[in-house]
Each structure stands twice: as C-alpha cells, then as structure tokens.
Amino acid sequence: MIKNLLLIGAGGFIGSVARYLLSRLNTRLDWLSIPVGTLLVNVLGSLLIGFLIGISEKSPLMTFELRMFLMVGLCGGFTTFSSFTGENLMLMRNGQFLPLFLYTGLSILLGFTAVYLGYMSTRLLN
C-alpha cells in the first residue's frame, strides 16, 4: 500500500509540475479568449490516458505499479480531465451508453454549477 501511494505521489508530482508549466500558456496566448494552456493540458492528458489504457490492455509490461504511477499519478496530477475521459472510454467500450451520457452530462452540468455556486458564495464574504 505504501509503495503504491509513493508511486502515485511521484507521478502526481511530475504531472502537476507539467500541468503548471503548460498552463502558463494561458498568460501568453490569446485565441478567442480560450484558456489555451488548460485546453492543451486536458487534450494531451486525454490522449495520454487513452494511449496508456490501450497499452495496458496489450502489453504485460504495463504492471499494476506502472499503471498506478502513470495513470493515477502522472495523468491524475496532470489533469483530472484525463481520468474523466478515460472512464468515459471504458463505459463506451462496455456498451454502457446511458451511463456514459448521464455521467458526461451530469459531470459538465453539475461541475459548472458547482464552480459557479462556489464563486458566487464568495460574494457573501466581506
């Protein structure tokens, strides 16, 4: 258990630092007022976790420990969006389309609602 936590933590450290460095593009690039760095992080994280899921299904070299380091740690530290899209991929591959659409829709709707409510609650502070 401790070994897995250390592997996840090490991967998370690397992923978080990479996210920070790439998201700095938000202050340097302006394309239709979209946070380009964050978009890039989310898309790259999704690409990476999809690749890792595919490799883990095909190769015995992708041990449980390596998956913990790369998928949970690195990708999780880089972007939780990659976890979200990876879970959606698994639902789709399992033919679970109702849960797929429900999970995706609720995640976007509730996530945006929560961030808005969290933001609006700061107006109550003096």
What is the pLDDT tens value at each position of the chain, 126 positions in all? Answer: 999 999 999 999 999 999 898 888 767 776 666 677 777 888 888 889 889 988 888 888 899 999 999 999 999 999 878 778 888 898 999 999 999 999 899 988 988 888 888 888 887 876
Provide the 10 A C-beta neighbour count for residue 113. 11
> Domain total for the chain?
1
Establish if 72 belongs to a structural domain. Answer: yes
pLDDT of residue 23: 80
Q: Which domain holds residue 48?
A: 2-79
pLDDT of residue 10: 97
Establish if 106 belongs to a structural domain. Answer: no
pLDDT of residue 70: 95
pTM value is 0.73
35-63: burial string, b at 16+ Cβ within 10 Å, e else: bbbbbbbbebbbebbeebbeebeeeeebe
Establish if 101 belongs to a structural domain. Answer: no
